[in-house]
Amino acid sequence: MKSPRTAAAVLAVTAIAGAGLLTGCSASGDSGNTNGTVAITIASLVPGSSADAFKAFNLRVKEFEKANPKVIVKPVEYQWTGPTFSAQLAAGTLPTVFNVPFTDSQSLANAGQLADITSDVKKLPYANKFNKSLLQVAENDKGDLFGIPYGPYAYGLSYNRALFTKAGLDPNKPPTSWDEVRSDAKTISDKLGIAGFMVFTSGNTGGWGLTEQTYSRGGRMEVAEGGKTTVTADNDQTVAALKFLQTMRWTDNSLGSNFNLDWSGMNQYFGSGQTAMYPSGSDVLTALVQSDGVDPKDYGLGLIPTEGDNSGVLSGGNVAVVSAAASPAEKAAAVKWIDFYYMQKLLDKSAAVADAKSLISNKQPVGVPQLPIFDKAQLDTSLGWIDSYINVPKENVAPFQNGIFDQKIIAEPAKHTQELYAALDSVVQAVLTDKNADIDALLKGVNTQIQALIDADAK
Amino acid sequence: MTAATVRDRAVRRRALDQSDRGIASHSDWRRPGVWLGMSTVHLILLILLILWGVGPLLWLLKSAVTPTQDTLQAPLAVFPHGWDWSNVATAWNTVGIGVQFLNTIWVAVGSWFVQLLVATTAGYALAVLRPKYAPIFNGLVLATLFVPGVVLLVPLYLTVLHPPLIGHSLIDTFWAVWLPAGANAFNILLVTRFFNNLPREIFEAARTDGAGPFRLFWSIVLPMSRPILGVVSVFAIINAWKDYLWPRLVLTNPAVQPLSVRLPNIQSQTDLGVFLAALAISMIIPIVLFLVFQRLFLRSAGLGGAVKG
Amino acid sequence: MTTSSAAVRVSRTRRRTPLTWIRGGGPANLLFLLPMIVIFGVFSWGPIVESVVMSVQHTNFVTAPTFVGFDNFLALFRDPLVPIAVRNTAYFAVLALIFGYPIPLIVAVLMSEVRRARGLFSALAYLPVVVPPVVSVLLWQRFYDASPRGLFNTVLSWVGIGPQPWIQSAATSMPSVVLVATWAAAGSTVIIYLAALTSVPPELYDAAEVDGAGLWGKIWHVTLPQLRPVLLITFILQIIGTAQVFLEPFLLTFGGPANSTLTILQLIFRYAFQNSIGLDYGKATALSILLALFLALFSVVYFRLTKAWSTN
C-alpha cells in the first residue's frame, strides 16, 4: 500500500505541475523573437484545401525564408467568414498576417484593430503605383495605411462546361441575359435532373449575391447623400431579382433541392456537379481546384448579365493586413511577406515565374482571371511573363476576361455591410423555401433593421 | 417441441423466482392470448429498435466503404459496384483526422482526470471529513445545478481568455477544456451521496488505528468507491467525447481540435465519401466503449431513475 | 465513538485557537476542498456573477467596460430576432416533449415486460445516445437530402409518398431538427424509465390483482403512480434541456431556412461570437440571464403545482 503522504504529495504535485504547464505553454505563435530573428504566423489556405495546394504554398514559404534568413514563418490555416472573424480577434487567434475583405478593412482600421503599416509600405518601391481608389479600402479616415489590397475580383458567372455540353448547350456561349440564364437553366435541369442554376444563400453570402443581382439590374442597396446613408433594399431591381429566383424555383424547378449553401458549401455543390451555373467571384477557380477537385478544363467563366441603366458588376477584394498586436519587428517582417507573396508576382518576372512554377508542380491553376491592382498595363505585362505556364484554358474564361473591362465596376455597400448581407440571407432563403414568401414585406423589414444600425452610429 | 412446451418451460422458469414479475403476473403469462400478444409486440419492438438504433449507424459504416458516386446516386443500394476502402484511407491520411482523433482522446483523458480529482476530494471533504463549514459549500455547489449552462458561456470564455494569475490566455490549449470540466456539480452530488452512505464505523476504526485524513482517503475511501468512480468516469469520458460548443469556442487551431469540432469545419471541402468515412471513424471508440462496458453505462444512465431519494 | 465525541466535547469547552484548528484536521479539510474551491470559483461561481454584471455593461476591448443600466435588455426587446428565437425554442420544446416524453415511456413499459435478453433491448435503445451528436447531426443531414434521390425520400417513395423538403422548408425544418434530437436523446429517457419501472415493488401488483385489476388497471393504479416522481423530474429536466438546445439546429440548418430553426442559444452565440464587427457580450449575457430567470420561475411554479398534485 502506498504511503498516505502519497495522497498529499499527489495533490501538491498536481497543483504545481498544473501551474508549471500553464505558465510554460504559449498560446499564440507570436512570441519567440530571439537572436534578432523574428517569428510571424501567416494565413495560408482555407481549411480543407488539398495537400497539393498546401505543398505549393509551403514551397513559397521556403523560398521566402531562404531570401530572408532572419524571419521564421509559420503558416496557419485561415478562412475569413463574416460570422467568426471578431471572435478570432477577441481570442487573439488571428495570425500576424491575415486577410479581410474590402467591406471590413476600413472599419477595422478605424477601430484600431489593425497595425498601421504606412511607414513599412512606403519603403516599397511601388508604393505610389497602386490604383488610388483601390488603396482607399485599406486606409483609415486619416489616410494611414493598414493593409495592402490584393486579389480584386468582380462577379462573374461560373459554369460547368462539361454539363453544358451534356445538356446540348454550347459551352463557348454562356447565357448573356437573365432570360437566357433562365432558359439554359431549365434545359439543364430538365435533361440532367440537377440544379441548372443556383445562388448563395447563407453565411452572409446570400445577401452578397443578392446585392450583385441588384447591381446587375441597375439597383442599389444603400444610397449615400450628403453624409447620410439610406438603406434601399426594397428597390425595384432587388424585387425583380427575387421574383426571378421565385419563378425559377417554383415554376421551372430549375434550382435543385438544397437551399442552405454558404460560400464553401456552394463551391462544393458546384464542384460535385450538382449545379451547372452560379454567380461567383471571378477568382473562385483557385478555391474550386484547391478544395473541391474541379478540373479547370471543365470550368467556364462568363459575364453576369447586366440590364438597365446604372447596371454594373459588384466587385470586391481582399486586404492583406497585420494584427494590431504585432511588434515593430514583426510588422516589418509581415510587410516583407506580403510584398513577397502577394505583390512580387505582379511586378517582377522571376518572382512571377517562381510562383507559377510552384503552382504548376503541385497541380494548382495558373491563369485564374484577375483584375488589376496597379493598372491594366501592369497586369497584362505580368500575365505575359507567365504565359507559358498558364494551364487554365484561355477560351474558358475569355467571355469574362474580354468583357469585364467594359463593365461598370461597383463597390459593395459601405455601411454595416455584413449585417445587411446577413439580414438579406433570410430573405433569399425565404423566397427559395416558401412559395408564398412576401417579398415586399421581407425587404422592408431589412430596411428597418439596417437603417436602425446606421442611424445609431450617427448618435 | 410444441408451442405449449415452450410456453410451459418459460412459465416454469419464471415461477422459480416469484418476485420476478412486472405488470403482467405469472398467471397472466400462462394465458396464450397474453403470451402471444406480448411476444409479438416484443418482436415488433425489437425490429423497430434495431432500425431506430442501429440502422443509421450501419448505413454510415456501409457508406464509409462505398464510392462517393454510389452514395450520391443510390444511397440505399448495398455495394452496387463493390466496396472501396480508399475513403477510409483518405480520411485518415490525406484529410488527416488522425490528429484530431488523438486530440479527442487527450481531451477525454484530461477532463476525466480533473473531474475525478475534484469530485473525489470535494466529496471526501464534504461527506467524510465534514468540517463545520461544509454545508455552505454543499449549498453553493448544489445551487449551480439550478443555473442553466447558457449563463456561463460568455463569462467562462472571457475567463479562459484572461485567466486570473496566469499571464496569457488558455485558448488553443487543452487546459481550456480540462479545467472547466471539473466544475461539475452533478459529479460532486453523486460522490457525496455515495460517501455519505459508506459505513462510518470503518472510518472510526481506521481513525482509532491512527490513520490520518490522507491515509483514510487513499487507502480506505477510494478503494471502496470503485462503483461510483466507474459511474463518474463513464459520464466524464462520454461527455468529453461528445462536447461540441465549448471546444469549438476555445480550440480554434486544427492541431488541437477534437473530432467533434474539426468535422463540421471540413465538411464543405471534403468529398462526401471521405467525409462519411471520417464520421464513421469518430463514432467507433464511443460505441466500442459502450459495448464493452454496457452494464456500467446502463446502470449509470438508470441512476436518474433512483432520483426519488 | 467515545474518542471522537470526547474530542468534540473538549474542543467545545476550549477556546478555538488556530492550534486547535490545526489539531482538529483543519488544514487537511481545506486541502481536500481546495481543488473544488479553485475550479468552481474560477470556472463556475465567478462566471455566474460575472454574467449578471456583464448584462448591465457594454464591453469593448479597447476601453474598460461601461455601465449601461438596462440598455442591453431594452435592445433585446427591440431586436426582431428575439421573439422569433423564443417562438422557435418553445416550438422545439413542445415537439420534443411530444416525441420524446410519452414514447420512451411506452417503450420502457414494454421493455420491462421482456424476460430474456432485456439487455439487448436496452443496448439497442441506448446506442444512439453514445454516438457523438456531431456525427449524428451530420449523418442525418445526409438522410434529409431533399432531392428525390435522398435517403428518406427514397424510403418514402416505396410507400408512395412524394419527396419531402425536410430541412429545406420553414414548415418542416423544426420537426426535422426535433427528430434528430430525439433520436439521439430518447434512449437515455428509456433507460431512466426502465430503471424506475424495475424498482416497482412486485407486491403492489400482487395486491392490485387481488383487488381484481386487469392489465390496464394495474398500469393505471400501480405503475404510473409509482413512476410519478421520475415522470415529474424528467419532464422538468427535459424542458430545461430543450430550452437550451444549440447543436442540432446550429449544425443541421445554421438556424435557417429563413430563421425558422433559430433558437435562443443560437441567438446568444451569434451576439457573442458571430457578429462580424464588434461583439455584443452585453446582449448575449442579458439574454442568457432572461432565459435563466424564466427557467427558474418555471421550475418554481412547476414544483408548487406538482406538490399540489402529489398530496391528492
What are chain B's domains?
96-269 (1.10.3720.10)
pLDDT of residue B20: 66
Tell whether A26 lies on the interface with C, counting CB pairs under 8 A: no
Interchain proximity B72–A272, CB inside 8 Å: yes
Interchain proximity B42–C187, CB inside 8 Å: no
Residue B74 to residue B84: CA distance in whole angstroms: 16
**Contact in structure between A277 and A158 (CB atoms under 8 Å):** yes
- ipTM, two decimals, is 0.83
Given a contact as 3+ CB pairs under 8 Å, which chains touch B? A, C
State what percent of residues in chain A have pLDDT above 90.
Answer: 48
Q: Show which of residues 97-116 on chain A sit within 8 Å of chain B, judged by CB atoms.
A: none
CB contacts < 8 A, A to C, total 93
pLDDT of residue B72: 80
Q: Show which of residues 74-103 on chain C sit within 8 Å of chain B, judged by CB atoms.
A: none
Mean pLDDT for A388-392 is 90
User: How far off is chain B from A51, nearest CA to CA, in Å?
Assistant: 7
The alpha carbon torsion through C30, C33, C37, C38 (nearest 10 deg) reads 80
pLDDT of residue C219: 85
Tell whether A6 lies on the interface with B, counting CB pairs under 8 A: yes
Tell whether A247 lies on the interface with C, counting CB pairs under 8 A: no
Interface test with B, best of A268, A270, A286, A288 (most B CBs within 10 A): A268
Residue A19 has pLDDT above 50, yes or no: no
pLDDT of residue B12: 64
What residue ranges define each of the domains in chain C, with the CATH number in brackets?
2-55 (no CATH), 71-310 (1.10.3720.10)
pLDDT of residue B247: 93
On chain A, the residues whose CB falls within 8 A of the CB of B175 are 18, 21-22, 25
DSSP-derived secondary structure for chain B: --HHHHHHHHHHHHHHSTT---SS-HHHHHSHHHHHHHHHHHHHHHHHHIIIIIHHHHHHHHHHTS-HHHHHH-TTSS-TT---THHHHHHHHTS-HHHHHHHHHHHHHHHHHHHHHHHHHHHHIIIII--TTHHHHHHHHHHHHTS-GGGGHHHHHHHHHS-SSSSS--TTSTHHHHHHHT--HHHHHHHHHHHHTS-HHHHHHHHHTT--HHHIIIIIIHHHTHHHHHHHHHHHHHHHHH--HHHHHH--STTT--HHHHHHHHGGGS-HHHHHHHHHHHHHHHHHHHHHTHHHHHHHHHGGGGGG-
Interchain proximity B169–A265, CB inside 8 Å: no
Based on C-alpha coordinates, what's the Rg of chain A?
A: 24
Mean pLDDT for A271-283 is 93
pLDDT band at residue B306 under the 50/70/90 scheme: very low
On chain A, the residues whose CB falls within 8 A of the CB of B218 are 2, 4, 6-7
Residue B15 has pLDDT above 80, yes or no: no
Q: Which of A176-185, A449-458, B245-254, C287-296 has the lowest mean pLDDT?
A: A449-458
pLDDT of residue C137: 95
Give 10-residue mean pLDDT values along chain C (312 residues). 48 66 77 92 93 85 75 88 94 93 91 84 92 94 89 90 90 94 91 88 86 82 87 90 93 89 92 70 91 92 82 51
Interchain proximity C276–A90, CB inside 8 Å: no
On chain C, the residues whose CB falls within 8 A of the CB of B238 are 130
C65-71 CB contacts, 8 Å cutoff, 24+ apart: C68/C282, C71/C282
pLDDT of residue A7: 46
Given a contact as 3+ CB pairs under 8 Å, which chains touch C? A, B
pLDDT of residue A236: 94
On chain B, the residues whose CB falls within 8 A of the CB of C64 are none
Mean pLDDT for A128-135 is 82
